[in-house]
Structure 1
């Protein structure tokens, strides 16, 4: 794996001050990755829909200082200093420092806010760390000669991955593959790439309504969950299954076979949670209302002849996926039948999006 391509090779023209703001989205994996090796290398390839409304807006102010041996930064989340978030960000900066040596020349003040509840299974690390990565690349672009946009996106994905694996899939959209896979040209374990094939019309502008079953902190972090795959009795079969499913979903997306899409996406969601149920120690992130919602979706799909389906991330919340042409009927179903299983009837209407945007 060639990481040298991301090293800074030219002299940098350091500026005294700079400030950048990026809005980067969360994403929802259709084929999941669960299990990784250092440094943030996935055990299998994954593919995700980039979201639009679930996003993080991050501003990073850079102020030149005497070159330091430590990365200097302050972190504000939704207007408040968050010391408890700093260790994760400090570790991120440590991991990217070889590729962004200029961070030792600046004090950084980071202001970040989410459009959704933090740590509730909507991949807040993905959107948050991809936003910081884009701000770093904006600075690098200013300090260097003009960098090509495709290189900026590729390196941002590479950097974001070093903080959160799924963050590599939040730079572009609407479909992003992360992990080396024989069916996906240019795919890599080091960064995400846009799905390189034209998708059938039924999958364009796909809808995702996120049902907020539980807005609290997860009992088991994703990092801990990934590590439990190292000695998991079903790990090898799972990694092979996921790569096989990526081959299958590639054809499904091109051909427009929505029934096969539904079966594969729901199976992937349940398999993810099966890995949690069968790890040592085992744990459960679904809640009773998660199961109520799943059963209601199955019932509605059969009675209404609908193409609605669900997927799950590493949490209790349910992503309800459906084509745009069913939007009105499915939203009525969600409002009448599913919202009562959400905390305070809260859900978020989203669609697939195009990735990071500079503000």
Structure 2
């Protein structure tokens, strides 16, 4: 069994003075949700997600070996880095990167040897209401692992992705599901081979043809900042009256959706995915303090989807993240007709008529290795 100790870097076989890498990593949408976590970003229950294809973060990591006699910047700091977002300095992002480096230093001690320039951008608008923490932390983790592989070229590909997922989790829990694979499981589950609380693993079974290139159209109902951060929401599960029942339900639903993804049962898929979305928000509404992240237009869209599915028998369904936006999921073979439904019936409920068309992708990519 893989433990945290297995990810502690101990061997430098090659000297690396400077260079740069560029990696991309996508966002993901959970089908069975995780809500609630323990210390060190450990999930209270397992989850499974579709990796997206187009909604991604592209991050370039440039690095130069520090000279111990030279101070980089105005103060001598343990971690030395600059952060650029879409080509401009982004000071309000820096505390999160600082905290991430502090969390992973024990596993990547070489981070203190370099000055970094982190240049990042999203393929989707930053204010679009799509959470970029998963894609952003996954892309950064893959860049860091590219540096580690340069320091120790004997590293295997499997270890590279496993540790990248492990590191990404320490930046943002769900980021571990954005590193590799089209369907990813995070969290220990009895029926998922090699599943772990420490990192995400690719779905171990053959995915049924019904779910290949599955579509996700994201309706941007509210592009504003969330009223309650995900971190606060997760913490409220510690004393939640329904927490244990919810964690048990997630295990059952993961077992059920595993079978569905293997056998292609779209009706059962819809039932599980929509129930999970509503349960996630039910946990928010029944915590203390309680909060509601759905908006009136979120409910209007859900009702429109239900009516449309009842009238046409087209297997379209919704899921939600911890926010107001609606992810509409459907097979590729009904793409044209569902997109017409979205344009005719749902766009009016989106902020400024905005929506994003995406589909299931395969995870992160190394773009530049220099």
TM-score by length of 1: 0.98
Deviation at 1:195, TM superposition (A): 0.2
Gaps of 5+ in 1: none
Deviation at 1:12, TM superposition (A): 4.5
Residues 120 and 315 in structure 1, CA contact (< 8 A), matched pair in contact too: no
- Give yes or no for the alignment of 1:283 onto 2:284: no
Deviates more, 1:182-191 or 1:65-74: 65-74
Give 2:184's match in structure 1, choosing from 142, 166, 176. Answer: 176
Provide, for residues 153-197 of structure 1, a one-character-per-residue CA deviation record: whole Å limited to 9, x for no partner: 000000000011100000012100000000000000000000000
Distance, in Å, in 1 between the alignment partners of 2:288 and 2:15 is 50
Is the counterpart of residue 356 in structure 1 residue 364 in structure 2? yes
* 8 Å CA contact retained: 2:129, 2:224: no
Distance in 1 between residues matched to 2:110 and 2:14, nearest whole Å: 10
* Number of residue-to-residue matches in the alignment: 359
> Secondary structure at the residue paired with 1:127?
helix
- The CA deviation string for residues 99-157 of structure 1, in whole angstroms up to 9 with x for no partner, is 11111000111111112233755331100000000000000011113311111000000
Residue in structure 2 matched with residue 56 of structure 1 by the alignment = 57
Partner residue, 2:149 = 141
Contact 1:73-1:107 within 8 A present in 2 as well? yes
Structure 1's consecutive aligned runs of 4 or more residues displaced over 4 angstroms after TM superposition are none
Secondary structure, counterpart of 1:132 in structure 2: helix
CA contact (8 A) 2:129 2:220 kept: no
Query: Quick one: structure 1 residues 119 and 170, their matched pair in 2 at CA, closer, same or farther if it must change by over 3 Å?
Result: farther
Counterpart Cα distance in 2 of 1:109 and 1:12: 24
Question: Does residue 254 of structure 2 align to residue 246 of structure 1?
Answer: yes
Asked whether the equivalents of residues 121 and 313 of structure 1 are also in contact (C-alpha less than 8 Å), the reply is no
Find the aligned partners of 2:307 and 2:161 in 1 and give their Cα distance: 42
Counterpart of 1:298 in 2: which secondary structure?
Answer: helix
Local SS of the residue matching 2:34:
coil
Gap regions ≥5 residues in structure 2: 69-75
Report the Cα offset of residue 49 of structure 1.
0.1
| 2:39 equivalent to 1:35 | no
Q: Any idea what SS the aligned residue of 1:229 has?
A: helix
Q: Partner of 2:273: helix, strand, or coil?
A: helix
Is the CA contact (8 Å cut-off) linking 1:117 and 1:215 kept in structure 2? no
Mean CA deviation greater in 270-279 or 8-17: 8-17
Measure the CA separation in 1 of the matches of 2:327 and 2:175: 18
Structure 2 distance, partners of 1:119, 1:162, is: 24
Any residues of structure 2 matched to 1:257-276 within 5 Å, and which?
257-276=265-284
Contact 1:61 1:108 (C-alpha < 8 Å) held by counterparts: yes
- C-alpha separation in 2, matches of 1:51 and 1:326: 18
SS at match of 1:39: helix
Which residue in the other structure is 1:109 paired with?
A: 117
1:10 and 2:18 equivalent? Answer: no
Q: Under a length normalisation based on structure 2, what TM-score does the superposition of the two structures give?
A: 0.95
- Which residue of structure 1 aligns with residue 264 of structure 2? 256
- State the secondary structure of the residue aligned to 2:293: coil
CA contact (8 A) 1:62 1:106 kept: yes
**Deviation at 1:201?**
1.0
What are the within-5 Å matches in structure 2 for residues 116-265 of structure 1? 116-118=124-126, 121-265=129-273
Q: Offset of 1:66 from its aligned partner?
A: 3.4
Q: Counterparts of 1:212 and 1:309 in 2: how far apart (Å)? A: 16
| Whole-angstrom distance in 2 between the partners of 1:119 and 1:51 | 18
1:88 corresponds, among 93, 96, 107, to 96
Task: Report the CA distance between 1:82 and its aligned residue.
Answer: 1.3
Q: Distance in 2 between matches of 1:23 and 1:157?
A: 14
**What RMSD, in angstroms, separates the aligned Cα atoms of the two structures?**
1.2
- Decide whether aligned partners of structure 1 residues 60 and 164 sit closer, same or farther in structure 2, where only a CA change above 3 A counts: same
Partner Cα distance (2:243, 2:276) in 1: 14
